[in-house]
Amino acid sequence: MIRALLVLLLLTAAPLAAQAQQDLAALQAAAEAGDPQAQYRLAEVYRRGEGVPQNFVRAAEWYAAAADQGLPAAMNALAGLYAGGLGVPNDPARAFDLVTTAAQSGEAEYLHNLAAVTEAGIGTPADPARAADLYAQAAALGWADSAVALALLYQDGRGVPQDIPRAVELYTAPANAGHPRAQNNLGLILSRGEGGVEQDYAAAAEWFRRAAETGLPEAIRNLGVMYENGFGVPLDEIEAQRLYRLAALAPGQSADAEGDATGLALLYDDRLLPPDAGRLEDYAAAASAGDPTAEFLLGYIRASAATSGADYLEAVRLFESAAAKGSAAAMANLGILMFEGRGALQDYVAGYMWLSLAATSGFPGAAATRDELARRMTPDQINAANAAAEQAWADRQRD
C-alpha cells in the first residue's frame, strides 16, 4: 500500500514539475531578451527558491538588469539585498540610492522604505523629520505600515512634536484592520494614560490580546504584565508566566499548553494519510526495503514522539535516507532537526540548506520555515547555505 502510494505521488508530481520547468525556461528566455518585467520575476524566483535553489547572487543580477531599465520594484528589491549583504556586498549607501530612485515613482511601498532607511540612518544620516514627511506621504496613499511608523514618531516626539492623541488617531485604523504593532502600541498608550489620553486597562488588555494572537512577542509579554498585576483582566500569575514563556520563544519555535518551548514544529506531507503509530511494523519493514515514503513516515513518528536522544538519532537517519532519494518532506524535517541540534550536531547552514532544497521542490511550509529561521542567521551563513544547496541540487540533477 505504501509503495503504491509512493508511485501515485511520483506520477502526479511529474507533470507539475515538467510544467514548472517549461514556465521557468520561458521566463528565462524573456528575461534574456531584455523584458524588464520578466527579469524582475526571474529575480523573484531565485530570491524565493521557486523551482530552483534559492540564489541571491542570481537574484541580484536579474534585479540589477531590470533596475537598469528603470523598474522601481527591481530597484527596491535590489536595495534590500545590498542592505542585508545577501548575494552582494553589504553596501548601505548603494541601498539608499536605489530605494531613493524607486521612491521617485511615488508608490507608497517605496516611499515607506525610503522613510524607514532615512529614519534608521541606513546609507544616510538619520533624519526622523524627513522620515516623518515620507511616512505621511505613504500613509496618505493607504500604506498602513507608514501610518503606524508615523504614529510612533508622534508618540515618541521624534522628528515631530510629541502628540499622543495624533498617534492614537493614526494607530486606530490599522489596529482595527488587524495590524499587530498598531494594536500593541494602542494598548501601551491606554495602559499608561499618557498625553491626555484617559487610562483604560480593560481596553489596553483587549488590544494586547488581539496583537498577542498574531504572535507578536511584545504584545504577548505586555498581556502577561496585565495578568500578573490584574490590570483590566483577572489577576492570574500562572497565565502571566505562561505568556512570558511564549514571548521568549525564538523565531519559529512552538510551545506546549503551558507555554514551554517544544522546539520547531515538524512539517508533514499532507498528500499522505495521517501517520498511524499502530502500523510501525509495516512502516519499518517498508523502510528497511528502502521505501522513502515509509522512511519519512517512520522518521516523523520517531521525531514527534521523541523522549530521548535515540529517537531523534533514528529520525535523522531515516530522514537522511529518504532525503537522499528525493523526499522533499524528509529534507524539510531533516533541516529542522539539524537547525535545532536534535539527533545531529546543531548546524544552521546545513539546516537552512535542507529546508531550501525542500522549498525548491515545492514542499509546503519549507520556504516559510526557512525564511523564519533566517532571522537567527548571519548573511554569511545564509549565503553559504545557498551555495551548498546550489551544489547539492546540481549534483542531484546529474545523478
182-215 pLDDT per residue, tens: 999 999 999 999 899 999 999 999 999 999 999 9
Q: How far apart are CA 4 and CA 168, in angstroms?
A: 60
Give the 3-state secondary structure of residue 383.
Answer: helix
Nearest to 258 by CA among 276, 240, 282, 283: 240
SS (H, E, C) 86-154: CCCCCCHHHHHHHHHHHHCCCCHHHHHHHHHHHHHCCCCCCCHHHHHHHHHHHHHCCCHHHHHHHHHHH
Residues 6+ apart with CB under 8 A from 391: none
Q: What are the distances in angstroms from CA 266 to CA 136, 244, 263, 275?
A: 42, 24, 9, 13
Q: How confident is the model at residue 8 (pLDDT cuts 50, 70, 90)?
A: very low
388: region left, alpha or beta (phi > 0 left; psi from -120 to 50 alpha): alpha
Quote the pLDDT of residue 272: 87
Q: What is the pTM of this model?
A: 0.82
What are the cell numbers at 82?
545590498
Q: Which CATH superfamily is domain 277-398 in?
A: Tetratricopeptide repeat domain (1.25.40.10)
Quote the pLDDT of residue 251: 63
Contacts 24+ apart (CB under 8 A), 312-317: 312/337, 312/342, 312/343, 312/344, 313/343, 313/344, 314/343, 315/342, 315/343, 316/342, 316/343, 316/344, 317/343
The structural domains of the chain, with segments of one domain joined by +, span 277-398
- Mean pLDDT, range 153-182, rounded to an integer: 97
Q: How confident is the model at residue 265 (pLDDT cuts 50, 70, 90)?
A: confident
Q: Compute the mean pLDDT over every residue in the chain, rounded to the nearest whole number.
A: 90
Name 278's bridge partners: none
Q: Is the pLDDT of residue 306 over 70?
A: no
Residue-wise pLDDT tens digits, 9-43: 433 344 445 566 778 889 999 999 999 999 999 99
Q: Is the pLDDT of residue 335 over 60?
A: yes
Q: How far apart are CA 248 and CA 377, in angstroms?
A: 18
Residue 165: Cβ within 10 Å count: 12
Residue-wise pLDDT tens digits, 35-68: 999 999 999 999 999 788 999 999 999 999 999 9
